[in-house]
Structure 1
Amino acid sequence: MRRTRRALAVAVTAALAAVAATGCGGGSTDAGSNDEPDKLTYWASNQGTSIENDEEVLKPVLDAFTEETGIEVDLEVIPWDSLLDRILTATASGEGPDVLNIGNTWSASLQATGALLQFDEETFARIGGADRFVPSALAATGAEGQDPAAVPLYSLAYALYYNKQMFADAGIETPPTTWEELVEDGQRLTGGDTYGLAVEGASIPENTHHAFVFGQQHGADFFDAEGNATFDTPEAAEAIKQYIDFLAADGIVAPGNAEYAQNQSLADFAGGKAAMLLWQAAGTALEHQGMDPDAYGIAPVPFQADPPEGGRQVNSMVAGINLAVFQNTDNLDGALDFVTYLTSDEVQVELNGAYGSIPPVLAAQDAPEFATEERAVLRQTLADSAAPLPQVPAEDQFETLVGTAMADLFADAASGNEVTLDSVRQRLHEAQQQVTG
């Protein structure tokens, strides 16, 4: 059965509450962890252009691990629209894999279930030490003050992609560095069936990522120091209205973008229907869409021209994938050997090179594959101006509830309904009222 966005929010919230109440369970089952020292189960997230593409990328890497260690790896690549549900089911039942990928924004929420192995100092020593990893990526591995619940595997950051020819035709010589410039440029680039910017108004993750960045720039945190939700502050409303206004007030986003789900904006940008795109490491995906790399430029995501009091110089979330070990694995040694292997310099270069991401392992970043213009921008952003989403247990509810509220606001704007600060704040208040725990 197809679930609505609100139903999904309720389901995810209920599942996490159940996990917190029951714990992670113990012992292995046929469905997940195993007691055979020469085998591992691995749930990988869909990073490539398809499940089949992921299998093509990962199989040689896993075969090499088997040849090196004698440990066979049973791989399952799981689509993003079902990955969190699968993980939540596994953490509640204890029937999980030995090793799994998790979105780094879920780290604290899944950590709170007790189902994932904690990487304390001794465990980090087993895999080569915590100092091998980029600090910003390591900051997105669990709650502050606790041992991480995972280690970084792939790192991503947002950048501004722009169509060089469309900019030249409009007489725009350089990409915008402020949101005010982006709106001005976007309006010059909008006309007929072409728009200045492509967004994905129905994509809950995309909405949430931009809510966080605009929120940081406006001084909104979405949670207080105790981890309580503060979704409906004036700062948060200003931040989210600024993003929704690209469609609602500025007119640089096509109304149809309000219905776009994940990855649909890429086709508009690659096809010349939009001149700009805010995206995480889009190069590989744009190439898959048939866009020549020479056709677009890459620049850092803009900042506020006149930052409000409390605004921060953050222009991207620390995006990426973390690698976790299921707490009740019966092959802990093999699982940690596998983590060591996947985070080794050589394998980091191979995998991140294939996926267009940035290695969170510092030494691997020096490889020639990561000297391109795109990756230089992403590396600089991760080093200087990216921040992790709130590492609190209710972060997953922030993603689902605020992302859904923004989708509703985009739908309002596309329907011709006025989007005001009051209407934004009301939606955020309604979202905050649904937070549990």
Structure 2
Amino acid sequence: MPTRRIPAALALAAAIVLTTTACGGGSASSGSNSSPKTLTYWASNQGTSLENDKQVLEPELRKFEQQTGIKVNLEVIPWSDLLNRILAATASGQGPDVLNIGNTWSASLQATGALLPFDQATFDRIGGKDRFLPATIASAGAAGKDPAAVPLYSMAYGLYYNKKLFQAAGIANPPATWDELVADGKKLTTGSQYGLAIEGGNVSENVHHAFTLGMQHGTGFYDAAGKPQFDSPQAVAAVKQYVDFIATDRIAAPGNAEYAANQSVTDFATGKAAMLMWQAAGANLKSHGMNPDDYGVAPVPVPAGSSGPQATSSMVAGINLAVFKNTKNLDGALSFVKFMTGDDEQKLLNSTYGSLPPVKAAQADPAFATPELKTLAGVLSTGAAPLPQVASESQFETLVGTAVKNLLASAAAGKPVTEAAVKAELSKAQQQMPAN
């Protein structure tokens, strides 16, 4: 997606484990007001710009004010700054009343103790837990604990393919297995055109694909006790498979190793690449002038004959909505969460942003029955797995995503990327993890 994509946790995320004791109650939220008639809301950048988000959200916030008498002070924060701002708020105990978080950060932020737990009684106040798709709740906090947030916008990865380029290459159907994808990618790689576009300079994209391939190879990068297993044979095989798109398969351009900020989407939209693995790319492709009839969407390939976790084709992507525990307007904050996750708002906001409603009733709306979104909804329901819901997840994103970035850079430079080289890079990432 354009700017909605959940970024890798920034380097400051390493400090997250230090904030656990700094988030006690008692202080008013920074920028919020103790009056029951005001709330402060930090929204993530979901649209084409910060201004676009304000244009989308402000009419809805006025609608909420008309219904409740509560004014919402909105600040839209770019993804490049959002985690830093949240970590500073958790450390100081002063933050907004309500905030958006990348769903992959849920367990890490939950560990700080700064976010309001959504226990059964709290869920009841916003309409009930069973309104949400189970996969999206699974990405809202650590297993066995009350979620630290509720799902707001949901996404999943799909394989986008250019119909005209496939037809010209004599390929009738999108690949369903990795062997088929590599074979098709080689047929589609000719001249300045490549079979697949990837975004190797984007740490977030790297770790998302590494995780999905890891699940297919039999690892979630952590053991059952929550201990990092970044350099296991399964993890090495998964990362090498991804790096080999440039290194040995040569179906992705060497320059893709430096791509970031949606450059791979641009290549796909302009016909420089025939395939793209992306989250809800439709709105972004439209902004580049690509007609929905020109591309198809299928699940990301899986190994031939796979089933269960090894048939995972996407991480559970999306944005969660959290309440800062120190809010002085808890009733108002929960009323706002109920409003934003209500059926009507879910339909309106997700259709505007090109994402999927995590609320089951809203997802049944015809607006989400396009071929693209129907495919992604199927992936989210049956083929997606949440990233590790552990306190160190933010560091995992940064370190493993950076390891993949380094390996792709080596591949682009023509250096051999052996299993030993992959293992060494992943071992270095694991050694940088905090001991606890």
CA contact (8 A) 2:10 2:83 kept: no
Give the partner amino acid of 1:27: S
Contact 2:228 2:430 in 1 (8 A): yes
- Give CA deviations for 1:121-161 in whole Å, capped at 9, x if unaligned: 10000001000000000110000000000000001000000
The alpha-carbon distance between structure 1 residues 25 and 248, as it changes in their structure 2 partners (threshold 3 A), is farther
Q: CA deviation at 1:25?
A: 5.3
The 3-state SS of whatever aligns with 1:119 is coil
Which residue in 2 is equivalent to 1:3? Answer: none
Identify the residue that residue 129 of structure 1 maps to in structure 2: 128
Equivalent residues, number: 428
Q: For residue 23 of structure 1, report the CA deviation from its aligned partner.
A: 3.2
2:431 to 427, 430, 433: 433
The match for 2:4 is none
CA distance in 1, matches of 2:204, 2:55: 26
Give 1:331-350 correspondences, 5 Å limit.
331-350=329-348
What is the rounded CA distance, in whole Å, between the counterparts of 2:11 and 2:59 in structure 1? Answer: 37
Deviation, structure 1 residue 223 = 0.9
- Structure 2 residue 53 is the aligned partner of structure 1 residue 54: yes
Asked whether the equivalents of residues 10 and 398 of structure 2 are also in contact (C-alpha less than 8 Å), the reply is no
> Are 2:103 and 1:101 aligned?
no
User: Does residue 11 of structure 2 align to residue 19 of structure 1?
Assistant: no
> How much does 1:100 deviate?
0.3
Aligned AA for 1:186?
G
SS of residue matched to 2:73: strand
Inter-partner Cα distance in structure 2 for 1:23 and 1:351: 31
Cα deviation for residue 262 of structure 1 reads 2.8
Q: Which residue in 1 is equivalent to 2:419?
A: 421
Separation in structure 1 between the aligned mates of residue 403 and residue 24 of structure 2, nearest angstrom: 31
Partners of 1:370 and 1:306 in 2: CA distance:
30
| Partner deviation per Cα, 1:7-61 (whole Å, 9 max, x = no partner) | x9784244213212433553115x3332011111000111111111111111111
Q: What residue identity is the alignment partner of 2:387?
A: L
Find the counterpart in structure 2 of residue 276 from structure 1: 275
**C-alpha contact (below 8 Å) 1:9/1:401 kept by paired residues:** no
Distance in 2 of aligned mates of 1:349 and 1:85: 30
Report the TM-score, using the length of structure 2 for normalisation. 0.96
SS at match of 2:43: strand
Say which SS state the counterpart of residue 223 (structure 1) adopts: coil
One-letter amino acid of the counterpart of residue 317, structure 2: A
What is the 5 A alignment of 1:319-358?
319-358=317-356
1: distance between equivalents of 2:306 and 2:298? 20
Measured in 2, the distance between the counterparts of 1:255 and 1:132 equals 45
State the 1:313 CA deviation. 1.2
* Matched residue SS, 2:76: strand
* Correspondence 1:258-337 to 2 at 5 A: 258-305=257-304, 307=306, 312-337=310-335
Moved more, 31-40 or 186-195: 31-40
1:165 Cα deviation (Å)? Answer: 0.5
Instruction: Report if the CA contact (8 A) 1:138-1:152 is conserved.
Output: yes
Instruction: Give the Cα separation in 1 of the matches to 2:411 and 2:31.
Output: 45
**1:289 Cα deviation after fit:** 1.2
- What SS does the aligned partner of 2:399 have? helix
User: Counterparts of 2:351 and 2:35 in 1: how far apart (Å)?
Assistant: 32
In structure 2, the partner of 1:210 is 209
Q: Percent identity?
A: 61
**Is the counterpart of residue 393 in structure 1 residue 391 in structure 2?**
yes
Residue identity in the other structure for 1:20: T
Q: Is the 8 A contact 1:218 1:311 kept in 2?
A: no
Residue identity matched to 1:112: A
> How far apart are 1:307 and its partner, in Å?
4.9
State the alpha-carbon separation in 2 of the partners of residues 318 and 424 from structure 1.
25
Determine helix, strand or coil for the equivalent of 2:19. helix
Deviations 1:394-414 (A, max 9, x none): 111110000000000010000
| Distance of 1:54 and 1:197 partners within structure 2 | 31
Q: What are the Cα deviations for residues 178-226 of structure 1, in whole angstroms up to 9, with x where unaligned?
A: 0110000010000111100000001011001001100000001211122
Alignment RMSD: 1.4
What is the CA-CA distance between 1:311 and the residue it aligns to? 6.2
Aligned to 1:117: 116
Q: Does 1:257 align with 2:256?
A: yes
Unaligned runs of 5+ in 2: 1-7
Q: CA deviation at 1:305?
A: 2.0
Match in the other structure for 2:368: 370
Q: What residue identity is the alignment partner of 2:192?
A: D
> How far apart are the structure 1 equivalents of 2:25 and 2:419?
46
Which residue of structure 2 lines up, in the alignment, with residue 191 of structure 1?
190
Question: Post-superposition shift, 1:292?
Answer: 1.0
Contact conserved, 1:24 with 1:91, CA < 8 A, in 2?
A: no
SS at 1:230 equivalent: coil
Q: What is the identity, as a one-letter code, of the residue corresponding to 1:72? A: K
Residue of structure 2 in register with 1:5 after alignment: none
Q: Is the 1:247–1:413 contact (alpha carbons within 8 Å) kept by the matching residues of 2? A: yes
- Code of the residue aligned with 1:191 in structure 2: it is T
- Alignment CA distance shift 1:102-1:24 (3 Å): farther
User: Does structure 1 conserve the Cα–Cα contact (< 8 Å) formed by 2:11 and 2:398?
Assistant: no
1:78 maps to what in 2?
Answer: 77
CA distance in 2, matches of 1:384, 1:88: 33
Matched residue SS, 2:60: helix
Any conservation in 2 of the 1:211–1:239 contact (CA below 8 Å)?
Answer: yes
Q: 1:182 to 1:11 in 2, by over 3 A?
A: closer
Secondary structure of the residue aligned to 1:173 is coil
Residue 233 of structure 1 corresponds to: 232
In the alignment, is the contact (CA less than 8 A) between 1:232 and 1:429 conserved in 2?
Answer: yes
8 Å contact kept, 1:157–1:318: yes
Q: Distance in 1 between matches of 2:369 and 2:306?
A: 32
